Every structure is written in C-alpha cells, then in structure tokens.
Amino acid sequence: MSIVRQLIEPRIVSGQIGIHPIFTLIAMYTGFRFLGVWGLILGPIVLIILKNIYGTLIDKGVVKSILER
C-alpha cells in the first residue's frame, strides 16, 4: 500500500497543480530532505510559486531583455 501511494501521489498532486509529475516528485523529495514532513507539503507549493514568477517574468519580457544585453 505504501509503495502504491508513493507512486500515485505525485501524479495526483501534479494533475491538480498542472506541473509534470517528475518535477512534483523532485519538489516533494527536496522539501522532505530540507524540512521533513512539512517539506512534502511546502516543496510543491514553492515549485508553483517559482513557476508563476518565472512565467510572469517571461510574459512581461524581463527575461528576454536580460538575455539580450
């Protein structure tokens, strides 16, 4: 049961937040390594925040203007 949960949980979480399952799994693992059980929850949240920040910067052209210099 534990193995099935570990394999399915990242897919469920990633499906709900719109991020690829491997990145969700990496975020959960990294969060767990740094913060323990709380990291399992906070890791994907931080990933979502970073994804939104990066997406906003690309939409506004900030990244493009930095790379052109």
What pLDDT, in 10s, does the model give residues 52-62? 888 888 777 77
Residue showing tokens 């990066």 = 54
Say which residue the tokens 């906003």 belong to. Answer: 56
Maximum pairwise Cα distance, the chain: 53
d(CA 66, CA 49): 21
**pLDDT score of 53:** 87
Residue 68 has pLDDT above 80, yes or no: no
- Residue 61 is predicted with a pLDDT of 75
Helices (H), the chain: 2-17, 21-35, 37-60, 62-67
Q: What is the pLDDT of residues 4-63, one digit of tens each?
A: 777 777 677 666 767 787 888 899 899 999 999 999 889 988 998 998 888 888 777 776
